[in-house]
Structure 1
């Protein structure tokens, strides 16, 4: 029992990898990041090897919402969990990835899913989507804070097995990374199918409204269409062009206005409904430390 008490006492004072003074907590306070998560998946689908790794090792089409919940829980754990919880989540993910292999859709070459190039692509598209979406939706962030977010997120990159020194740590480095990797990206059949699935996934029957042909076109479906359309509109122009769009400045302006409107709407939702248990627990730990200071 003394050991258990000691563990609780340490955890009660542990604010994890980031903490309330971090840019990471400021960004991830935003419910609009649900759109950012979907945006990152559209981006990730454009990398043929990354797409092959997912398609050949997961049942995402039959368990789309389960996979989404697991991914969201992992991200929340790395952002708001204790240091021990974040590191344990990273170990589990690394162990899972280490067992997985896939074949290149063009060369047939077998590759490891935990190849650093693939892990870096997933990491960059994710964190860039988070901070870009939050900023375009109206969150006030200075250029220095954006750079700070990327630098802080190198800690998350280390959890999946990347060397932080090899991960972009500023906005300029992210932009340069996208320029360097652009030649590897393309609109494949798998990318198109995945984008279509992301835009119109099966809605859980408990919140759907069945109609003819087995489709659900009730309010949840239309709401999701709106989120998916916004996520696609928030993509960088070069990604929109790969998907067949024009990437026009007017599209970007419309997307920004829509993101700002959605952010305002989500801000009206009571905090207890838009904050998960990990986030609430982290804030409780921070409040206890502040009160004790």
Structure 2
């Protein structure tokens, strides 16, 4: 069935590159640089971000981020996610993989570029206690929530559907804290326990809330304007993201684990099958990782040890 595989590959590539017909130039540019980057081969970050479960993790992160009314207001008021959802997705993917696989200069530049774009993202929102507050995308608290939701989503998805993480969960949280600091997060967690504690703090303080706007965004995430060929697989991934959520977040979002009466569907297994299929079509190694390996080989295999300095 090569025709079907080619069509599927084409639709997937269109989705993840915002409709680009060729390999994006920024991926090739990751072959350049003067060091191996903040992470590198064998790191927890390369392991977590190299698995195809990152597609599901991205869906999960969007769902959880939508529970913070300030973060949600920034997206709803300033982005064109309905008109161009995959353009926004492509931009996010570019930042994630530049920080993950680029050299340190590229990682810093990509983060500075995103923060520059965020300078205009300002407005007001009603918090979980009914109080109107100002928001700015670069505010440390909002940046922290986005970082926490991302880190938790990618970690939990890797634990459920990915390979064993070198150094375990703590290693990934500690490494990806570098990305948080690049985005202005002053107290990014550096262990799984700290990650859970900080996320629970938002719940305990009543800062998370599901409004009509939240539920509208959830409906959009559940049924985005995908090509017909991709819809069944996406629904399986969405259901997998729902199953992986903290039960409290899932309840707030009005989502349920798919079931018939008391019998739950084998959602986790089905999502895994879909992810394996995506890996078979697109390959099991991101193009950005291959570009980074070319750069590292050119530099003589130099390996930069992740540290707290950004």
Q: TM-score range by the shorter chain?
A: 0.7 to 0.9
Aligned partner of 1:225 in structure 2 is: 235
**Structure 1 residue 256 and structure 2 residue 268: aligned?**
yes
Size of the alignment, in residue pairs? 267
Does the residue aligned with 1:268 lie in a helix, a strand or coil? helix
* CA shift digits 1:148-196 (9 cap, x unpaired): 1100011101111122xx1111111111112111121121111100000
Aligned partner of 1:109 in structure 2 is: 133
Aligned partner of 1:154 in structure 2 is: 177
Aligned partner of 1:283 in structure 2 is: 293
Aligned partner of 2:61 in structure 1 is: 40
**Structure 1 residue 140 and structure 2 residue 164: aligned?**
yes
Aligned partner of 1:186 in structure 2 is: 209
**TM-score, with structure 2 as normaliser:** 0.78
Match of 1:202 among 225, 231, 242: 225
| Structure 1 residue 253: Cα displacement | 9.0
* CA shift digits 1:211-232 (9 cap, x unpaired): xxxxxxx322222222222222
Aligned partner of 1:167 in structure 2 is: 188
Q: Is the 8 A contact 1:57 1:102 kept in 2?
A: no
**Structure 1 residue 16 and structure 2 residue 16: aligned?**
no
Q: Is the 8 A contact 2:36 2:302 kept in 1?
A: no
Aligned partner of 1:5 in structure 2 is: none
* Superposition RMSD in Å: 2.8
Q: Which runs of no fewer than 5 residues in structure 1 stay unpaired?
A: 1-7, 209-217
Note the 1:26-65 alignment, pairs <5 A: 26-65=47-86
**Structure 1 residue 94 and structure 2 residue 106: aligned?**
no
**TM-score, with structure 1 as normaliser:** 0.82
Q: Indicate the structure with greater helix content.
A: 1
Q: Is the 8 A contact 2:237 2:274 kept in 1?
A: no
Match of 2:150 among 126, 136, 139: 126
In structure 2, C-alpha distance between the alignment counterparts of 1:120 and 1:171, rounded to whole Å: 15
Does the residue aligned with 1:225 lie in a helix, a strand or coil? helix
